Chain A
Amino acid sequence: MNNREKEEYLREYEVMKKKGKPFFPYAILKDSTMAVIVVGVIVFMSIYLGAEQGPKADPTTTTYVPRPEWYFFFLFELLRVIKPPWLVPVATIGVPTIAMVLLLLLPFYDRNPERNPLKRPIASIAGIMTIIAMAFLTFLGANAGSPTDIEMKVAPEFEPGKLVAAQSGCLACHQFGDNGNNGPGPKLTEIGARLNPAAIARSLEIGPGIMPSYSAMAEDEPAKFRDLVAFLASLNGEESSGEPDTGVAGDPGTGAPESSTTGGGDSSAAEPAASGSSP
């Protein structure tokens, strides 16, 4: 906006204000009505939805579902949409940061003096697309269940390990055959073909990237942990009915699992991909 447009706006605004009504009581009345509605809705939700307490937090547990509050679903779902491990920082930090900066600086790059949403189609369409994208991701997150059953056929000696994996929340982020969520973690259907048992055990203990560490289980219940590692190491994709996993270019020789997701070196690669998907 140049100075002429600024003055024009201020003059017009002055006229609009003169023609308006006093804040008290007209606007106050609407605000108070809205306040009563807000409190009413909160009271209603508190009475009918309650505040249930889940089971107590237990760091040594083997059954948990790491799910955020619903208004973080859209951020969490980004991790499922953006799969390759080296792009994880893009989803976790890159896209949200760029979106925040774009939001914060909006008045400084949108210099169009027009205010009517119908007369600034680019801004309006961008806004609507952002809302649709966030609503869609939230919807996906709300429906991404966390199954606790793995239907793959395995040799009898690996059955105990399969049970541990099914009950340890792995399915919230990993896919085993047809079960589990495909992301944020990689598919584990043929993890045994890519990693040796020692590397799998180290992965579980470290908790690479955003994955929680299972070192508590390794210390407190070593038998369970050994079963889990044996089961994972036995997975070579033969029993799987799913597609072979092409998303993860894991190198079987290095024995270094998804730990490449940590560290700042990926930030340079993050930018082009992020600018394409940010609003």
Chain B
Amino acid sequence: MPDLQKLLPPPMRRPPKPGHADGKPSEYAPGEAPDGKPTGLREGRTDDPGRRLSTKAQDAPADLVGWVDERMGATSFLTAMLMRKVPKGTNWFYTLGSATLFAFVVQAVTGVFLAMYYTPSPVEAYASITHLTNDVFLGEFVRGMHKWGASVMVILVFVHMARTFFFGAYKYPRELNWVIGVVLLILTMVMGFTGYLLPFDQRSYWATIVGVNINGTGPIVGPYLSDFLRAGPEFGATTLSRFYAIHMLLIPGAIIALIGAHLYLVVKLGTTAPPWMRADRKPKASRSEPVDAIANGAGGNGSAP
């Protein structure tokens, strides 16, 4: 029975255990303390090869997690994040942000698959979409998810913002997170605008012409902005690839970075309590505590108040 540890590169080997340092066999019998009493730590560790292998297999996931955590120290962070308390009264309105995040994940995943088949050139773009829609397995389904996912994400962004507005959640100390959120809203709309051209059918082409012209009416920077979007004074061959690069590289990168900052602030500052909840009502608080205890004792229904 070869020792599996030998197969691993040295840094990935299990850290030496007491009594097994440097892989040397212990001078004590396995599972026994020096005084001969069972330790209870490693009772299955005998010289029976079959049992040793099964024990190792059972230990492997825990050992791997342990190895990673020894280097990253992520457990304390994860525990703090998962076990942090959310204020009393947190309800379904507070799921809108994570729902928006999830819609973005759907867009990112479906977008990767669309990019595998899409050709951003004015000559081939339309044909590549036809091929994707008609020939590729589940192609139309994935494209439909991306198309409608965009609408769902825009709706969720707006509803999430409305919730934040009416709950006063943008006030101290969360002002910065509101600003990041508004930038994310604008970037989401830019995604909608740049993505609309990519199917390269009549609707998207002419809507984009008008959209770029609208940007051109702006004071001072307007004409430069529309020239930048078109890659020149006229809608040309590089316009489509420019929109494609903005749509799948520039804006998604910015969105991912800002979502990271947004979530960091959410975890650091905590989510707000509903504005109608008050902590300082003494009689109400003292009365509600036993009720909470009973509710938790009876299976703790986690439903919203």
Contact across chains for B152 and A16 when beta carbons are under 8 A apart: no
Partner of B210, one of A17, A103, A210: A210
B149 in contact (CB, < 8 A): yes
Q: What number of A residues sit within 8 Å (CB to CB) of B?
A: 93
Is the pair B302, A16 in contact by a Cβ cutoff of 8 Å? no
A93 and B219: CB pair below 8 A? yes
Q: Is B95 close to A, CB under 8 A? A: yes
Stretch at the interface among A31-39, A188-196, A233-241: A31-39
Q: Is the CB of B207 within 8 A of A1?
A: no
Contacting B at CB under 8 A, from A216-271, are: 261-262, 264, 266-267, 270
Contact pattern, B 10-51, Cβ under 8 Å of A = 1, otherwise 0: 000000000000000000000000000000000000000000
Min CB distance A135 to B, Å, is 10
In the bound complex, residues from chain B placing their C-beta under 8 Å from that of A117 are 166-168, 275
A262 CB, min distance to chain B CBs, angstroms:
6
Q: Output the least CB separation between B273 and chain A (Å).
A: 4
Shortest distance between the CB of A104 and any CB in chain B (Å): 5
Within residues 26 to 57 of chain A, which ones have a CB less than 8 A from any CB in chain B? 26-31, 33-35, 37-39, 41-43, 45-47, 49-51, 53-57
Report the bound CA distance from A20 to B274 in whole Å.
Answer: 12
CB closest chain-B residue, reference A102? B182
Contacts of B285 in A (CB 8 A): 19
Q: Is B92 an interface residue (CB 8 A)?
A: yes
Bound-state CA distance A64–B220 (Å) is 30
Interface residues of A: mostly helix, strand, loop or mixed? Answer: helix
Do B88 and A34 touch across chains, with their CB atoms under 8 A apart? no
Chain A minimum-CB-distance residue to B176: A107
Among the listed stretches B58-66, B191-199, B254-262, which one makes contact with chain A, having 4 or more residues with CB under 8 Å of it? B191-199
Instruction: State which of B85, B162, B186, B203 has its C-beta within 8 Å of the C-beta of A131.
Output: B162
Contacting pair B103 A42 (CB below 8 A): yes
By a CB distance below 8 angstroms, the chain B residues around A56 are 126, 200-202
Question: Which residues 119-176 of B sit at the A interface, judged by CB distance below 8 A?
Answer: 122, 126, 129-130, 133, 140-152, 154-156, 162, 165-175
- Which residues on the B side are within 8 Å of A1 (C-beta)? 171-172
Given A31-B98, A100-B182, A209-B217, the answer on whether A45 and B148 have CB atoms closer than 8 Å is yes
Cβ of A68 and Cβ of B84 under 8 Å apart? no
CB pair B168 A16 closer than 8 Å: no
Tell whether B83 is near chain A: CB-to-CB under 8 Å: yes
In the bound complex, residues from chain A placing their C-beta under 8 Å from that of B126 are 53, 56-57
| Residue B211 is within 8 A (CB to CB) of chain A in the complex | yes
Q: Are A68 and B83 in contact (CB under 8 A)?
A: no
Within 8 Å by CB of A212, from B140, B142, B156, B209, lies B209
- The answer to whether B213 touches A212 (Cβ under 8 A) is yes
The answer to whether A38 touches B280 (Cβ under 8 A) is no
**In contact, B170 and A23 (Cβ under 8 angstroms):** no
Contact of A54 among B87, B140, B202 (CB under 8 A): B202
Given A26-B86, A31-B95, A9:B216 Cβ within 8 A: no
CA distance A53 to B186 in the complex (A): 27
Chain B residues in 8 Å Cβ range of A108: 175
With CB as the reference atom, state the residue of chain B lying closest to A63. Answer: B202
Q: Does A65 belong to the interface (CB within 8 Å)?
A: yes
Shortest beta-carbon distance, B76 to chain A, in Å?
15
Contact yes or no, B87 A19, CB < 8 A: yes
| A50→B152 CA distance, assembly (Å) | 15
A53 and B87 contacting across the interface, CB-CB below 8 Å: no
Q: Are B279 and A264 in contact (CB under 8 A)?
A: no
Q: Which of A69-77, A159-167, A174-182 sits within the interface?
A: A69-77
19 A-B pairs in the complex with CB atoms less than 8 angstroms apart: A16-B277, A16-B279, A20-B88, A28-B82, A30-B92, A30-B304, A34-B102, A37-B99, A50-B144, A54-B203, A55-B201, A64-B206, A71-B151, A71-B155, A72-B211, A106-B182, A118-B276, A124-B166, A264-B220
B interface residues, Cβ below 8 angstroms from A = 81-90, 92, 94-96, 98-99, 102-103, 106, 122, 126, 129-130, 133, 140-152, 154-156, 162, 165-175, 178-179, 182-183, 185-186, 189, 192-193, 196, 199-207, 209-211, 213-220, 222-223, 235, 270, 272-273, 275-280, 285, 292, 302, 304
Q: A residues touching B (Cβ–Cβ < 8 Å)? A: 1, 5-6, 9-10, 12-13, 15-31, 33-35, 37-39, 41-43, 45-47, 49-51, 53-59, 61, 63-72, 79, 88-89, 92-93, 97, 100, 103-104, 106-108, 110, 113-118, 120, 123-124, 127, 131, 169, 207, 209-212, 261-262, 264, 266-267, 270
- Please name the 7 residue pairs, one residue from A and one from B, whose CB atoms are nearest each other, closest first: A115-B168, A46-B144, A57-B205, A54-B201, A107-B175, A267-B219, A264-B219
